[in-house]
Amino acid sequence: ELKVEQNPLFLSMQEGKNYTIYCNYSTTSDRLYWYRQDPGKSLESLFVLLSNGAVKQEGRLMASLDTKARLSTLHITAAVHDLSATYFCAVDKVPQGAQKLVFGQGTRLTINP
């Protein structure tokens, strides 16, 4: 059974600092997705990582995937308050892709001025 674990679950940081959220998963997959959720809102797609070594960047966020280590990272550069949200990674439990996603617990990120 595929398990997806995020670390840390809670993160409070100062504006301007850098930090990384980790997403580990337990079985083989090369399809990983990152989503953002604001309080009381639905999920918004951030990144789609479809192969080993994939790296995607959007603004101050950068995501990468290492399928051999079964690890994805979401790196935040020079954080700003607008990035405060809960971030979820999700892994497709079917290696070749079928959108049968298993989500991590989420990382609640708070960025303080």
Partner 1 sequence: EAGVAQSPRYKIIEKRQSVAFWCNPISGHATLYWYQQILGQGPKLLIQFQNNGVVDDSQLPKDRFSAERLKGVDSTLKIQPAKLEDSAVYLCASSLDRGLAGGRGTQYFGPGTRLLVL
| 30, 39, 75, 113 from 66: Cα distances, Å | 8, 30, 14, 33
In the complex with partner 1, the residue whose CB is nearer, 71 or 80, is 71
Q: Are 49 and 56 in contact (CB under 8 A)?
A: yes
Round to whole Å and give the CA distance between 80 and 103: 25
Taking the complex as a whole, the smallest distance from the CB of residue 16 to partner 1 amounts, in Å, to 29
Report the residue from 14, 48, 57, 69 that binds partner 1 according to the rule CB under 8 A.
48
Exposed, middle or buried, 113 (CB in 10 Å: 0-12/13-18/19+)?
A: exposed
Sign of the C-alpha dihedral, residues 52, 7, 94, 36?
Answer: negative
95 part of the interface to partner 1, by CB under 8 A: no
Interface characters, 63-82, with partner 1 (x: CB under 8 A): --------------------
Q: Select from 13-21, 27-35, 59-67, 71-79 the region that touches partner 1 (CB under 8 A).
A: 27-35
| 14, 108, 112 from 89: Cα distances, Å | 23, 12, 23
In the complex with partner 1, the residue whose CB is nearer, 48 or 78, is 48
33 part of the interface to partner 1, by CB under 8 A: yes
Taking the complex as a whole, the smallest distance from the CB of residue 113 to partner 1 amounts, in Å, to 26
Taking the complex as a whole, the smallest distance from the CB of residue 21 to partner 1 amounts, in Å, to 13
